[in-house]
Structure 1
Amino acid sequence: MKSDDRRALTGYDRRVYALMNRREGASLHATAARRRTAVGTHIALTAAAIACWLGSVLGEARWATFGLLALLLPWCLATGIINGATRGLLELRTRALDERQRAERDRVASLAHRAMMWLLLGTTIAVGCAGLAGAGIEGLVFPVLFSVFVVHWLMPLWVAGLTAADEPVDDVAFDEAAVH
């Protein structure tokens, strides 16, 4: 980022940029396998949270509310790991990104859009088949729509986490290792 662009950033932009580029947790997302694990964990926690929320709203189960509260902290940690892996690609405002990051954000949005299209097609076919088979789909409308909404909201984060590239190797550390 150029110094002229840096001055155009607000205090909020600078704080979020600094937060998203902290290196303390870099080992949690240093490899592709760890990033895939973080995204898989996030997907599982999201599915469990959706189930708990739907259970508390539709099933009036009090335990589901406590389950949702128990899932909140691990879900936030997994979100933070993915955001750290992408260096805040989706959290930073456009003016805080350089050209490469803007192109990456567009690529992630395009891939997420394509994945959601196929997910929506599969969901439509599944609900349509259930309706043709005689199953009462009236009870499925809200849970399915809510679940698809949440997945649509989080799909760019998951795609960004899965497609994030490894950090470049530090040349100084590499040179020191080669000398010793």
Structure 2
Amino acid sequence: MTTSDQRPLTNYDRRMYRLMNRREAAPFHATAARRRAVVLVHVALTGMSEVAWLFAVVGDERWATWTMLGLLLPWCFATGVINSSTRGLLELRARALDERQRAEKSRVTALAHRAMLWVLLAATIGSGGAALAGLEVEGFVFPVLFSVFVVHWLMPLWVAGLTARDEPDLDEDDDIAEVAGAAGAA
């Protein structure tokens, strides 16, 4: 099994492809509304986990560590649903993707970088405005930078989940042959 650039897929590539294309999570991302809901839940869980981590590290609060650990399992589940909805678009190596998937990955990455530009602009204006207003910003530098880092890290996943398209409902071989025949006739 090789891709268009003729580099052979490794066992790792094949395992990851099979993992990312499993259908157990399909009911959670079958429609655009469900995918949006999962992405919003993921954003909320990320935000809560980030706040808990900051309380644990900066505030030295013991409860925050347990809260963060409690949020880990639902966060991982939501991440898996988003990855399943995109068929592993961001997790698979480029050699395991076809031409269309590589173009989609580039599009998602560009959209995520564009969105991050606005997040960074808002953080810069917010911190600059706070400094100009006479507020002490030194205590907020680490939490704001950490928050921006987390958003930068996860933005491509969120954008991919929000922009994923519905898959055709193909349950039987007749449906697949019908779609293939229609594509060949076009």
Residue 93 of structure 1: aligned partner: 93
Q: What does residue range 15-26 of structure 1 map to in structure 2 within 5 Å? A: 15-26=15-26
Amino acid at match of 1:160: A
Give the structure 2 partner of residue 165 of structure 1: 165
Contact in 1 for aligned 2:26/2:84 (Cα 8 Å) = yes
Aligned to 1:137: 137
Tell me by how many angstroms 1:4 deviates. 3.5
Normalised by the length of structure 1, the TM-score is 0.92
- 2: CA distance between counterparts of 1:73 and 1:22? 19
Percent identity over paired residues: 66
Q: Which structure 2 residue ranges, 5 or more long, are not aligned?
A: 176-186
Distance across 2 between alignment mates of 1:29 and 1:58 = 36
Size of the alignment, in residue pairs?
Answer: 173
SS in 2 for 1:167: coil
Alignment of 1:32-51 (within 5 A): 32-51=32-51
Aligned to 2:69: 69
Q: Secondary structure at the match of 1:140?
A: helix
CA distance in structure 1 between the partners assigned to 2:57 and 2:110 by the alignment = 33
Q: Structure 1 CA distance, aligned partners of 2:145 and 2:174?
A: 50
Aligned-CA RMSD value: 1.6
For structure 1, list consecutive stretches of 5 or more residues without a partner in the other structure: 176-180
CA contact (8 A) 2:85 2:161 kept: yes
Runs of 4+ that moved beyond 2 A = 3-7, 171-175
Deviation at 1:73, TM superposition (A): 0.2
Return the alpha-carbon distance in structure 2 between the equivalents of residues 98 and 87 of structure 1: 12
The TM-score normalised by the length of structure 2 is 0.89
Which structure dedicates a bigger proportion of its chain to helix?
1
